């Protein structure tokens, strides 16, 4: 299903997507696996859901239950540790944004608070989805973020997380973007897992659309973000063996959106990755496997490294 900031996806450029599909073929034995028309109602996750979706139903996520009282999102600095000395990524800064927060469901009034995303207002954050067995998206994203951080630091990069289990909820989507901007990051990746219908499988990378309005102007980051996202998509296939989404992006593994505050408000190259569909049993078996999560982190790290090395 679509991310908590849901509007119809922007049109995709056929020539650019064809080039992206060619890169994805580098990691695939064949390029026709699991095809199907893209569905406008699937994408990054929103409210947590624990009831399996019907294969014929439009992807949905449950709305969070009311909390006792609203709270203001705590503000803390992103996690900071010195980069490993030397390495091919020495001098580069990468921000990893683990989607959602495991404690968001305890603060639903706070995360439902509207924030400015440049072209309108959306929720501060959402609870995220979960597998039918109860493995939360927010647990998945933080685990993959830790693995990804270790891989990038081993190459000498300076790596920051937008949060690292050090706050009760959030950060809000506007703050997540601001952290990457203020770090002058060379690349930012927001890690997610989807919550779509059973039978919808595979990963997709979300790229920023050209957006100008309010406080949003993505004109400087659209092309470098596409380069970053295309490289991540191709190398994610190679590392994990997963196929591009059969329900988003027309088998390219890429989707372009102009309704996500985390992308709209970014002034540095940034993409989201939906690593799989938590509500599909086959994808869920992968997402809950520590070995597969290591492969997912490796694929993302390889894509970031390829982008930063040019």
pLDDT score, position 24: 47
Specify the pLDDT at position 218.
Answer: 98
Q: Would residue 298 count as lying in a domain?
A: yes
Residue 42 in any domain: the answer is no
Which token pair is 217?
């102007």
pLDDT of residue 89: 98
> Where do we find the tokens 């693995």?
147
Residue 259 located in a structural domain: yes
Residue 158: its pLDDT value, please? 98
Residue 80 maps to a domain: no
Residue 214 confidence (pLDDT): 85
What pLDDT score was predicted for residue 14? 37
Packed helices 14-24 and 222-240: angle between N→C axes, nearest 10 degrees: 30
Per the structure, how many domains does the chain have? 1
Match 């088998």 to its residue by tokens.
251
Output the tens digit of pLDDT for each of the chain's 310 residues: 444 443 333 333 433 434 444 444 444 433 333 333 333 333 333 333 333 333 333 333 443 344 444 444 455 545 555 545 689 999 999 999 999 999 999 999 999 999 999 989 999 999 999 999 999 999 999 999 999 999 999 999 999 999 999 999 999 999 999 999 999 999 999 999 999 999 999 999 999 999 998 889 999 999 999 999 999 999 999 999 999 999 999 999 999 999 999 999 999 999 999 999 999 999 999 999 999 999 999 999 999 999 999 9
| Residue 25 placed within a domain | no
Give strand pairing partners of 169. none
Domain span including residue 122? 90-309
Beta-carbon-side half-sphere exposure of residue 276 (alpha carbons within 13 Å): 28
So what's the pLDDT on residue 224? Answer: 98
Does residue 18 form part of some domain? no
Q: What is the DSSP letter of 117?
A: -
Residue 18 CA, distance from chain mean position: 22
Residue 136 within a domain = yes
pLDDT the model gives residue 215:
86
CATH number of residue 123's parent domain? 3.40.630.40
Q: Which residue has the tokens 């590392």?
A: 239
The overall pTM is greater than 0.75:
yes
Task: Give the burial string for 45-80 (b: 16+ CB within 10 Å, else e).
Answer: bbbbbeeebeeeeebbbeebeebeeebebeeeebbe
Does a structural domain hold residue 249?
yes
Give CA separation, 206 vs 4, 158, 274, 290, in Å. Answer: 14, 24, 8, 24
């Amino acid at each position: 299903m679509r991310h908590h900031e849901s509007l119809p996806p922007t049109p995709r450029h056929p020539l650019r997507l064809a080039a992206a599909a060619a890169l994805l073929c580098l990691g695939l034995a064949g390029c026709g696996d699991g095809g199907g028309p893209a569905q406008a109602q699937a994408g990054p996750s929103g409210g947590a859901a624990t009831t399996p979706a019907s294969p014929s139903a439009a992807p949905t996520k449950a709305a969070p239950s009311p909390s006792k009282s609203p709270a203001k999102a705590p503000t803390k600095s992103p996690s900071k540790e010195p980069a490993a000395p030397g390495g091919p990524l020495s001098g580069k800064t990468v921000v990893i944004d683990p989607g959602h927060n495991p404690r968001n469901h305890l603060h639903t009034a706070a995360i439902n608070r509207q924030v400015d995303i440049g072209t309108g207002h959306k929720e501060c954050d959402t609870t995220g989805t979960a597998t039918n067995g109860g493995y939360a998206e927010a647990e998945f994203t933080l685990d993959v973020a830790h693995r990804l951080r270790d891989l990038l630091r081993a190459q000498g990069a300076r790596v920051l997380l937008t949060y690292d289990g050090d706050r009760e909820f959030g950060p809000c989507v506007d703050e997540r973007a601001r952290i990457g901007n203020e770090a002058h990051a060379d690349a930012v990746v927001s890690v997610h897992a989807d919550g779509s219908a059973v039978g919808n499988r595979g990963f997709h990378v979300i790229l920023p659309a050209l957006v100008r309005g309010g406080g949003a102007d993505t004109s400087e980051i659209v092309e470098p973000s596409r380069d970053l996202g295309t490289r991540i998509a191709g190398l994610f296939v190679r590392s994990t063996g997963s196929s591009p989404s059969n329900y988003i992006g027309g088998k390219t593994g890429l989707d372009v959106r102009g309704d996500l505050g985390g992308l709209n408000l970014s002034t540095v190259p940034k993409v989201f990755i939906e690593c799989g569909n938590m509500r599909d049993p086959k994808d869920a078996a992968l997402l809950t496997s520590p070995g597969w999560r290591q492969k997912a982190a490796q694929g993302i790290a390889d894509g970031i490294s390829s982008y930063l090395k040019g």
